[in-house]
Amino acid sequence: MFLLLSWDSRLSYLIQEFIPSESDFGSILNVIVLSLILGLILNAIRWALYEQCFLRKSRLSSGHFRNLTDDESIRAIEGTIDENFRYHQFYGSSSLIVPLFLIYIFSITFPLNMFTFWSVINIFLVCAAFLLLEIVIVFASVTSFLRYVNRSISIMKGG
């Protein structure tokens, strides 16, 4: 991954800034804050796409949570959230990053003025690999969300 990021001069410059011990606290704090902001934005987009558009019929309603009265069922729901919903959040947000990463790979690997037969084959192979990766990640996200919903309903019904 480090080698891949070092191909681009802009990212190479950023990486070289953090490798030496002279990196100051301010630049590290900027990276942390920007990472948090990006993560929150991705989570909001994931929520809108997956939970509000694609999987809206599989959501838990507020009525489901009325049956949560004892500590055991609350702990079971918390476990279901940790074991399933958190994975859905990770996979769903990752599915938003993969197309952007593909665009970035194209911008640094395949210049517009250098198209040959082999570069077209390479572009096809890279696109096929990223498409396969995207399908697996989306499937994992949907499966994790549905597993969270089904297990939560089962816990809330007492079964």
pLDDT along the chain (159 residues), means of 10: 52 62 73 90 94 88 77 89 94 93 77 67 85 96 95 80
pLDDT of residue 87: 95
Look at the chain and report how many structural domains it folds into: 1
pTM for this predicted structure: 0.75
Nearest of 83, 94, 98, 99 to residue 145 by alpha carbon: 83
Note whether 80 and 155 are within 8 A (CB): yes
Q: Which domain holds residue 53?
A: 2-156
What pLDDT, on a 0 to 100 scale, did the predictor assign at position 21? 55
pLDDT at 3: 47
Please report the DSSP string for 101-136 in residue order.
HHHHHHHHHS-TT---HHHHHHHHHHHHHHHHHHHH
Rounded to 10°, the helix 71-80/117-156 angle is 170
